[in-house]
């Protein structure tokens, strides 16, 4: 089954309440919260995303899918666990060593969230193979993390195929999420390659009808 996670990174100020309620009616499977610290990526969305996540938690029953683009993962987990996220994903590039990766995995489990690990476009997906038995999701970045509205890097299709083949061969059960430049043109390609959770920001927020675009992305 394919699920859709709506990124609210490109949401205009002042449209929050209406958008969150409409996304719930349109049955997005998750709201994707892009947490940026101004260090791991240039932009800093930390406080805004914290406010948004708390607001969504009060206003809706939508599951939260937290994407940490931060250097200090431990602090971010402490900050975001209060909104009871369904998924917390961190970047492998932000971890010093294997011990730190395992520490983050266990800390997220302690917060009763599912664990995701993300790889940037230039990071070989093999780098996360050894952690797959301990996590729930792999997030393949299909653009350079940092901003919404970019174009999917087509080489990433092969990366998705590669990890899909590996998890099938090893009979590991992990979700494959893709993030960046997902729209009606690219969605069929990433699904065909093996992705089963699609993050989409601009494609959904700029659509006329959230329900229709979410259904079309899944189809």
**Active-site entry in 29, 37, 65, 179:** 179
d(CA 32, CA 64): 6
Q: Name which of 79 and 141 has its Cβ closer to ligand DX5.
A: 141
Task: List beta partners, residue 177.
Answer: 139, 197
List, in sequence order, the alpha helices (H) in 87-209: 98-110, 156-169, 187-193, 202-205
Contacts to ligand DX5 from residues 189-218, by CB under 6 A = 199-203
Question: Has 168 been annotated as catalytic?
Answer: no
Using CB under 6 A, pick the residue from 56, 180, 197, 214 that binds ligand DX5. Answer: 180
Query: In the 8-state DSSP scheme, what is residue 37?
Result: B
By CB under 5 A, residue 91 contacts Zn ion? no
Three-state DSSP class for residue 125:
helix
By CB under 5 A, residue 37 contacts Zn ion? no
Q: Name which of 116 and 181 has its Cβ closer to ligand DX5.
A: 181
* Contacting range for ligand DX5; rule: CB under 6 A; set: 21-29, 45-53, 124-132, 180-188: 180-188
d(CA 116, CA 101): 11
First to last CA, the chain: 10
By CB under 6 A, residue 182 contacts ligand DX5? yes
Q: Which residue has the tokens 């997906």?
A: 125
Please work out the total of residues on this chain that contact ligand DX5, with binding judged by CB under 6 A.
21
Interacting residues toward ligand DX5 by CB under 6 A:
7, 9-10, 32, 34, 67, 145-150, 179-182, 199-203
Q: Which residues are catalytic?
A: 34, 179
């Amino acid at each position: 089954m394919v699920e859709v996670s709506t990124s609210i990174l490109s949401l205009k100020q002042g449209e929050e309440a209406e958008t969150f309620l409409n996304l719930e009616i349109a049955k997005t499977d998750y709201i994707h919260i892009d947490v940026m610290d101004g260090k791991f990526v240039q932009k800093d969305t930390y406080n805004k995303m914290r406010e948004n996540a708390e607001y969504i938690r009060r206003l809706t029953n939508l599951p939260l899918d937290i994407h940490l683009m931060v250097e200090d993962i431990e602090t971010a987990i402490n900050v975001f666990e209060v909104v009871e996220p369904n998924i917390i994903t961190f970047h492998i590039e932000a971890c010093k060593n294997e011990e730190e990766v395992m520490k983050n995995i266990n800390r997220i489990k302690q917060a009763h969230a599912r664990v995701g690990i993300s790889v940037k476009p230039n990071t070989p997906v093999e780098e996360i193979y050894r952690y797959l038995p301990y996590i729930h999701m792999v997030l393949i970045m299909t653009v350079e993390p940092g901003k919404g509205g970019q174009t999917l890097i087509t080489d990433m299709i092969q990366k998705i195929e590669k990890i899909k083949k590996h998890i099938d061969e090893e009979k590991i059960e992990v979700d494959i999420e893709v993030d960046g430049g997902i729209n009606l043109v690219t969605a069929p390609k990433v699904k065909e390659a093996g992705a089963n959770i699609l993050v989409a920001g601009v494609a959904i927020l700029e659509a006329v009808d959230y329900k229709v675009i979410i259904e079309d992305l899944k189809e």
